[in-house]
Amino acid sequence: MSSLFLRTLREDPADAEVPSHKLLVRAGYVRRVAPGIYSWLPLGLRVLRNIERVVREEMDAIGAQEIQFPALLPREPYEATNRWTEYGPNLFRLKDRRGGDYLLGPTHEELFTQVVKGEYASYKDYPVMLYQIQNKYRDEARPRAGILRGREFLMKDSYSFDLTDEGLAESYRLHRDAYVRIFDRLGLEYVVVKATSGAMGGSASEEFLAVAPTGEDTYVRSPGGYAANVEAVTTPAPPARPVDGLPAAQAHHTPDTPTIETLVDFLNGAGLGRTFTAADTLKNVLVKTRAPGSGEWTLLGVGVPGDREVDMKRLEVALEPAEVALLDEADFAAHPFLVKGYIGPSALAANGVRFLVDPRIAPGTAWVTGADKPDHHVVDLVCGRDFTPDGTIEAAEVREGDPAPDGSGPLEAARGIEIGHVFQLGRKYADAAQLDALGADGKPVRITMGSYGVGVSRLVGVIAEQSHDESGLIWPRGIGPADVHVVVAGKSEEIAAGGERLAAELDAAGVRVLLDDRKASPGVKFADAELIGVPTIVVVGRGLANGVVEVKDRRSGERQEIAVDAVVEHLV
């Protein structure tokens, strides 16, 4: 530490609101360059690289192959999928010296599709899974919480390419399982929830949410640790229920995908009693959507306060099939589980629906039934957590305020931070790029794709958010900048030499060590050690004369005197 490029700060940065942001800046892990744009200093970069390593190992383990695309990309592939426009103000667009249009990649579906089309031709080539760990650029409306929502951030994005729907389901499962392993290895507390993929062709999409009161997403949990997100997907249903005061139904027709502007116009023209802008986060709005010319409406709920908020951009994507209308009385009458502005567990509960879970249906999905209600399809139930795997129907309560299924107290809404997202894209991008494989029968087969993201740099903030105390950060072993922090506490040459010797021995034994050999006072060193958050702190001080050092567990605060000869063995 006497030569480490590190200066810790005593004061919280003025712009920081959440603990991870305050602590990562104070402990000298990151420094702000511009809103949502951060530099990684040595300690922070080490943590980032450790997380990257875990992600890379688990991606490699499922057979995904690493490649790397540029972040600076030409307009054309994004034009072909309409995302040059669709991405709206979140996209960083720029021009080269000849006036050509470029963008900084916010996500890379187009490029991966293109590269696979370039290299592969036969059905024998498939399936394939490719990934990269690369900086992404999004001009977020509200960059916040330091690296948690950056405008430049590191993402692991992977893409699967399959010949069949079953193949896609398998690639999706492999990724989902890999994500579980990644987040378990990082020691995170998280839940897996269905994402509001809305009208995106009904394909599977799930988000991994790290539990954090400062998060921007909401799910249901009990104080005893039970957690689930149960979002009802619409099914045909019955008895009429009058709803007062709804604006008249209106349909909105656009020739193709609605832009944020047409969406804003639509909502503003709907008589909802408030004015919307493109930057809004929506609550209390319910719409339905369908493909042009198709008779089937898909209901799309946008939450109420306390539920997931949806920003305009996300709604715009969900409304892709182009025809949009507000729900009307008939919709509410036909779907008794709808309450104004909300489809979800508390809405179901408010309508007296009890949840019965049938585990015989594919893992992760289930049907819920109410005594007087027809079935509602729900997803994201986890076998063993939400119901037993023995094939019997198990009753599971998911009513807000009721006890959790494991009896661990009343369910409540809780907040989380999105750390990963798995998504069955289907053929949207393959259609745009005409990505086909030549089948065994000589006929072309359209490829079906999945895309899967992990917020690698965000994870640094998320771990910090979940694992800290008032004195500083607390890293899990293997993830922090070091595993043992040796503090030389004393001015004598013997103590300094003892500290160095111990650090060298630990290093030789393969333990990652940070040695505080600075001339600062023990008080300053202890405070910095707590702030930096290496999981084990070894104090080499006066006790050395008696052959002992103090070993402190950063998380529990527990201290032990250990013979200096036995320390290495104790810590490997």
Decide: is 420 part of the binding site for ligand ATP (CB under 6 A).
yes
Q: Which residue is nearest to Mg ion (CB)?
A: 421
| Long-range contacts of 177-183, Cβ-Cβ distance < 8 Å, separation of 24 or more | 177/62, 178/58, 178/59, 178/61, 178/62, 179/58, 179/208, 179/420, 179/422, 179/452, 179/454, 181/58, 181/61, 182/54, 182/55, 182/58, 182/420, 182/454, 183/208, 183/210, 183/419, 183/420
Based on CB atoms, which residue is closest to ligand ATP, 138 or 354? 138
- The phi, psi pair for 531, rounded to 5°, reads -65, -45
Is the peptide bond between 127 and the residue preceding it cis, with omega within 30 degrees of 0? yes
Taking the C-alpha atoms of residue 154 and residue 131, their distance in angstroms, rounded to an integer, is 13
Distance of CA 195 to the CA centre of its chain: 11
Query: What would the two tokens of residue 357 be?
Result: 């879970």
Binding ligand ATP (rule: CB under 6 A), the pick from 21, 108, 144, 149 is 149
Nearer to ligand ATP, 221 or 458 (CB): 458
Nearest partner of 537 among 522, 553, 548, 523, judged by Cα: 553
Output the six-digit token pair for 355.
């949840």
CB of 498 to ligand ATP, least distance (A): 43
Of the residues 28, 44, 150, 450, which one makes contact with ligand ATP according to CB under 6 A: 150
Stretch of 159-167, 234-242, 342-350, 451-459 contacting ligand ATP, by CB under 6 A: 451-459
- Residue whose CB is less far from Mg ion, 50 or 218: 218
Residue 525 contacts Mg ion per CB under 5 A:
no
Nearer to ligand ATP, 209 or 567 (CB): 209
Interior angle at CA 313, CA 209 and CA 90, nearest 5: 95
Least Cβ distance, residue 211 to ligand ATP (angstroms): 14
Instruction: Work out whether 46 is an interface residue with Mg ion (CB under 5 A).
Output: no
Compute how many other C-beta atoms are within 10 angstroms of the C-beta atom of residue 192. 23
Give the number of residues in contact with ligand ATP, rule: CB under 6 A.
15
Site string for ligand ATP, 245-274 (x = CB under 6 A): ------------------------------
Stretch that binds ligand ATP, among 145-153, 389-397, 427-435, 508-516 (CB under 6 A): 145-153
Q: CA–CA separation, 336 vs 93, rounded Å?
A: 45
How near is the Cβ of 420 to Mg ion at its closest, in Å?
A: 8
Q: Is 453 in the site for ligand ATP (CB under 6 A)?
A: yes
Q: Quick one: 188 or 515, whose CB is closer to ligand ATP? A: 188
The structure tokens 């929506």 sit at 282
Q: Which is nearer to ligand ATP, 181 or 290 (CB)?
A: 181
C-alpha–C-alpha distance, residues 184 and 190, integer Å: 9
Is residue 465 a contact partner of residue 189, using CB atoms and an 8 Å limit?
no
CB atoms within 10 A of CB 42: 12
Query: Chain-centre distance of CA 277, in angstroms?
Result: 26
Nearer to ligand ATP, 157 or 530 (CB): 157
* Nearer CB in complex with ligand ATP: 419/551: 419
Report in angstroms how near the CB of residue 161 gets to ligand ATP at its nearest.
Answer: 19
Residue 238 contacts residue 389 (beta carbons within 8 Å): no
CB 445 within 8 A of CB 163: yes
Task: Using CB under 6 A, pick the residue from 206, 231, 400, 418 that binds ligand ATP.
Answer: 418
Residue 144 binds Mg ion (CB under 5 A): no
* Nearest distance, CB of residue 352 and Mg ion, angstroms: 32
Pick 51 or 430: Cβ nearer ligand ATP: 51
The verdict on 138 binding ligand ATP (CB under 6 A) reads yes
The answer to whether the beta carbons of residues 485 and 538 sit under 8 Å apart is yes
Q: Which two tokens stand for residue 542?
A: 């006066």
Q: Does 83 bind Mg ion (CB under 5 A)?
A: no
In whole angstroms, the minimum distance from the beta carbon of 533 to ligand ATP comes to 21
Nearest of 434, 461, 335, 390 to residue 30 by alpha carbon:
461
Q: CA 27, CA 42: separation in Å to the nearest integer? A: 11
CB 62 within 8 A of CB 178: yes
- Tell me whether residue 139 or residue 402 sits nearer to Mg ion (CB atom): 139
Among the residue ranges 67-75, 449-457, 476-484, 525-533, the one whose residues contact ligand ATP (CB under 6 A): 449-457
455 binds ligand ATP (CB under 6 A): yes
> Which residue lies nearer to ligand ATP by CB, 140 or 507?
140
- The minimum distance between CB 353 and Mg ion, in angstroms, equals 27
- Shortest separation between residue 314's beta carbon and ligand ATP, angstroms: 8
Q: Look at residue 458 and give the partner it binds from Mg ion, ligand ATP, none, a contact being a CB closer than 5 to 8 Å depending on partner kind.
A: ligand ATP
Q: Residue 399, interface with ligand ATP (CB under 6 A)?
A: no
The DSSP 8-state label assigned to residue 470 in this structure reads T
421 touches Mg ion (CB under 5 A): yes
Closest CA to 137 of 220, 56, 34, 42: 34
Select the binding partner of residue 468 from ligand ATP, Mg ion, none (C-beta < 5 to 8 A, by kind): none
Nearer CB in complex with ligand ATP: 332/423:
423
- CB under 5 to 8 A by kind: which of ligand ATP, Mg ion, none does 221 bind? none
User: Interacting stretch for ligand ATP, rule CB under 6 A, among 147-155, 339-347, 352-360, 541-549?
Assistant: 147-155
Angle at 447 between CA 442 and CA 452, to 5 degrees: 160
User: In angstroms, rounded to a whole number, what is the distance separating the alpha carbons of residues 219 and 225?
Assistant: 13
Enter the DSSP assignment of 476.
P
What is the closest distance, in whole angstroms, from the C-beta atom of residue 482 to Mg ion in the complex? Answer: 32
Alpha-carbon gap, residue 422 to 438, rounded angstroms: 28
Under rule CB under 6 A, residue 419 binds ligand ATP? yes
Measured CA to CA, the distance from residue 541 to residue 554 in angstroms comes to 18
Q: Which is nearer to ligand ATP, 162 or 216 (CB)?
A: 216
User: Which helix (H) or strand (E) element contains residue 348?
Assistant: helix 345-350
Interface ranges with ligand ATP (CB under 6 A): 107, 138, 140, 149-150, 153, 155, 418-421, 453, 455, 457-458
Binding site for Mg ion (CB under 5 A): 418, 421
